[in-house]
Amino acid sequence: MRAQLLSMQLKSIQSFSVRRDQEPTVNNWWHFHPEFELICIIQGTGTLLIEDRAVPFYDGDVFIIGPNQAHYCRFDDVFFIGDNCQQVDVKVVHFKEELFGAKFMNLPENAKLKSLLKQSEKGIKLTGAKGQLVGRMMATVLKSEGGLQLLRLIRILLEIAGEKIEFLTNMEPSGSLAFYQAERWKHIHEYVQQHFKEDIKVCDVASIANLGVSSFCRFFKSLTGQTFTHFVINMRIQEACKLLKENSMNIKQVCFESGFRNFTSFHKYFKAIAGMSPLAFRQEAVKATN
């Protein structure tokens, strides 16, 4: 599926857009746009697909998506299935960097704001108490108009600036990639999303991309900055993190459910990527929810 360009419709009195979504289907397809996108997940769980990453999200998480980054939020099945399906609550702002003007951005007082937007070009994630605070502040932006609304948006961005954030991707925004590259990447990404828990063979994925194995490996490394094997391992660790947060299954079960076949390898890669052991990660996740 090719990422589609999404055009923002602004009123004549607006220079940026603010909205509240309560349906899980809003812009629920692979898309990109030239604006930055600030997303506050007030209520909802699922996975943010962004370029080469699949990032779990939960209540209170905040994302800033950079210009032309292909992405979409895929909510969990509980928000779609059955008569009693749960409701989502998401607050979203779209804005261009030109909103603030070059002179304003270059003021010494705005160094943190300028740095935040630069960091956000490849996507960032904010969680915890600060993410929840940003969600509450977004409610005031929705209720405001005119200059006050703009000032409150700037205050939110300054609140995020300097916080501990998670970078989402090192990949070049695919909205600016050549068409054939974007198409090829989409086929690869979709296949890996569907099969990362299985024993994926590089030759099979290369075939999907219509490339030989050597050409595929070069293409993949140039596009993502990592080997295909490391990409799959990262995706499995992301799945393991999600299971450790959401599920009561034991750590060995998480290992095999996330696609690993060897517990020692799982433990080694988890610690290298997450910066702590699976047990420590689960303990931190429990603390964060209490």
User: Are 50 and 188 found together in one domain?
Assistant: no
User: Are 18 and 124 found together in one domain?
Assistant: yes
pTM above 0.85, yes or no: no
The CATH number of whichever domain residue 22 belongs to comes to: 2.60.120.10
Domain count within the chain? 2
Which of 110, 140, 167 is where one domain is finished? 167
User: Are 143 and 8 found together in one domain?
Assistant: yes
User: Are 163 and 179 found together in one domain?
Assistant: no
Tokens for 135?
Answer: 């969600």
Tokens for 278?
Answer: 């699976």
User: Are 207 and 96 found together in one domain?
Assistant: no
Which of 122, 148, 167 is where one domain is finished? 167
Query: Which CA distances in Å does 60 have to 56, 74, 134, 183?
Result: 12, 16, 8, 33
The CATH number of whichever domain residue 273 belongs to comes to: 1.10.10.60
User: Are 87 and 224 found together in one domain?
Assistant: no
pLDDT tens, residue by residue, 21-46: 988 877 767 778 888 999 999 999 88
pLDDT classification of 13: cutoffs 50, 70, 90: low
User: Are 208 and 251 found together in one domain?
Assistant: yes
User: Are 94 and 70 found together in one domain?
Assistant: yes
pLDDT tens, residue by residue, 68-96: 888 888 888 788 776 667 889 999 999 98
Q: Report the C-alpha gap between 59 and 134 in whole angstroms.
A: 12
pLDDT tens, residue by residue, 157-202: 999 997 888 888 776 666 655 555 666 777 887 888 889 999 999 9
76: nearest Cα among 68, 86, 65: 86
User: Are 213 and 138 found together in one domain?
Assistant: no
pLDDT tens, residue by residue, 218-272: 888 877 667 899 889 988 988 898 888 877 889 999 999 999 999 999 999 998 8
C-alpha triplet 49, 47, 158: angle, nearest 5°: 80
Which of 147, 167, 187 is where one domain is finished? 167
pLDDT at residue 1, rounded to an integer: 45
Range of the domain at 88: 4-167
